[in-house]
């Protein structure tokens, strides 16, 4: 036996509870064991030392895994909320450790990080999402490539050195004040949405923060409510997501040529009145904002609407593309008189429908 998959086999609860030694004792070559969603399973003590992958996600009653697993490469224990201990002798073979929602490990993570992570000298992926009692991460393997911490609502600092990190997700870590040290050329994805505790860092140290991330492809700062100015961004960016940055006033792209930028999402950024002229040269850029998303080919001017006036005229709009299955129109919106009772959205939709009518004749 190399692979044993028993996920959801809750009818085996008595066998797993009383005969683990007999069941697993003969499986001296077992490498992959899947016991996910065995909700009655409380303890795992007798497991083959040959195991390389162990999946336990959703074992909601599981409290202890005290078997020795020196060859283990992957451990997935997501949503094992009562889990208090991890397997013994986890070591240099470990590549993936997923402990999302393991609230019961809060004491272990708080008091024994050095002992827990110190032996995992080859760990690449670590998932501690929704470990809501976790306050500090100081001892992490320098080999980490992906670190996911979304929903760690008490987390304040991650001060480990992670020079090989490629992806860092700290969504909704509202108390987070520091980021890992030595983030550099390996970084591809940085997700900090809802991390308003980083407001001081973002306000005063953008050059230092973003300066070394010259391979970064995706940056998400959505719901960073205190962010007012954004500059010193890596020119390698392909996606920049700023949804709900309600204080953002300035987006400065003068630091370089952003030819790789494909997506800019600035929905719900009411104070951002204009876009950088540098975006004019990016024909493939898609800008998502509160108006219907348009593919911008050139930004000729930024219209301003005073909502207190009964009627306003907007004289110039970006050039847009209208695509159907067989034809493409490239054109510029005409001047529009905007009434309170009929908004800009309906005006644009009506005009686009009229433009599309001639296509039906072909």
What does the pLDDT look like over 253-309, one tens digit per residue? 877 789 999 999 999 999 998 888 888 778 889 999 886 443 333 334 444 333 344
C-alpha 39/C-alpha 60 separation (Å) is: 5
% residues pLDDT > 70 (the chain): 80
H/E stretch holding 264 reads strand 263-265
Is residue 329 in some structural domain? yes
- CA dihedral 196→197→198→199, nearest 10 degrees, is 60
Closest C-alpha to 177, from 160, 159, 150: 159
Burial class of residue 354, CB neighbours in 10 A (0-12, 13-18, 19+): exposed
Q: Which of 109-113, 122-126, 152-156, 230-234 comes out lowest in average pLDDT? A: 109-113
Supply the pLDDT for residue 247.
Answer: 95
Residue 302 CB neighbour total at 10 angstroms: 11
Identify whether 219 is part of a domain.
no
Give domain status of residue 325, yes or no: yes
Dihedral pair phi/psi, residue 337, rounded to 5°:
-95, 120
Domain membership of residue 341 (yes or no) is: yes
**Range from 86-95, 106-115, 215-224, 350-359 carrying the lowest mean pLDDT:** 350-359
Which tokens in the block code for residue 73?
């490469």
**What's the 3-state SS for 170-195?**
CCCCCCCCCCCECCCCCCCEEECCCC
Q: Which two tokens stand for residue 55?
A: 């999946």
Give domain status of residue 340, yes or no: yes
Report the domain count for the chain.
1
Which residues touch 57 (CB under 8 Å, ≥6 apart)?
36, 37, 76, 77, 78, 79, 80, 98
Give the range of the structural domain holding residue 326, as residue numbers without chain letter: 312-362
**Within a domain: residue 361?**
yes
Q: Cα(149)–Cα(158) distance, rounded to whole angstroms?
A: 10
User: Higher model confidence: residue 115 or residue 346?
Assistant: 115
| Within-domain flag for 362 | yes
Give the mean pLDDT of the chain.
Answer: 83
Count of residues making up the chain: 362
Does residue 338 fall inside a structural domain?
Answer: yes
Helix/strand/coil for 142: coil
Look at residue 215 and give its three-state secondary structure.
Answer: coil
């Amino acid at each position: 036996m190399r692979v044993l998959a028993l996920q959801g086999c809750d009818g085996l609860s008595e066998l797993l509870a009383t005969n683990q030694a007999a069941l697993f004792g003969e499986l001296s070559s077992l490498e992959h064991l899947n016991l996910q969603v065995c909700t009655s399973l409380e303890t795992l003590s007798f497991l083959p030392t040959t195991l390389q992958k162990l999946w336990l996600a959703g074992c909601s009653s599981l409290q202890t895994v005290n078997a020795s697993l020196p060859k283990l490469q992957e451990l997935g224990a997501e949503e094992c909320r009562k889990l208090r201990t991890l397997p013994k002798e986890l070591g240099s073979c470990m590549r993936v450790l997923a402990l999302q929602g393991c609230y019961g490990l809060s004491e272990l993570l708080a008091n024994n990080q050095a002992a827990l992570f110190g032996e995992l000298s080859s760990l690449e992926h670590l998932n501690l999402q929704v470990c809501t009692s976790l306050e500090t991460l100081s001892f992490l393997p320098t080999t980490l490539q992906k670190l996911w911490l979304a929903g760690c609502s008490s987390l304040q600092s991650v001060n480990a050195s992670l020079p090989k990190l490629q992806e860092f997700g700290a969504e909704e870590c509202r108390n987070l004040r520091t980021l890992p040290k030595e983030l550099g050329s390996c970084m591809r994805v940085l997700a900090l949405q809802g991390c308003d505790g980083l407001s001081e860092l973002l306000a005063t140290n953008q050059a230092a923060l973003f300066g070394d991330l010259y391979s970064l492809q995706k940056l998400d700062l959505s719901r960073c409510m205190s962010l007012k100015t954004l500059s010193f961004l890596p020119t390698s960016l392909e996606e920049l997501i700023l949804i709900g940055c309600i204080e953002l006033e300035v987006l400065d792209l003068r630091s370089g040529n952003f030819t790789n930028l494909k997506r800019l999402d600035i929905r719900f950024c009411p104070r951002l009145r204009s876009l950088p002229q540098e975006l004019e040269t990016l024909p493939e850029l898609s800008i998502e904002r509160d108006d219907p998303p348009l593919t911008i080919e050139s930004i000729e001017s930024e219209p301003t609407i005073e909502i207190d006036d009964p009627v306003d005229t907007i004289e110039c709009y970006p050039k847009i593309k209208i695509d159907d299955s067989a034809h493409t129109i490239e054109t510029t919106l005409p001047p529009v008189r905007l009434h309170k009772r009929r908004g800009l959205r309906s005006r644009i939709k009506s005009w686009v429908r009229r433009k599309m009518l001639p296509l039906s004749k072909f």
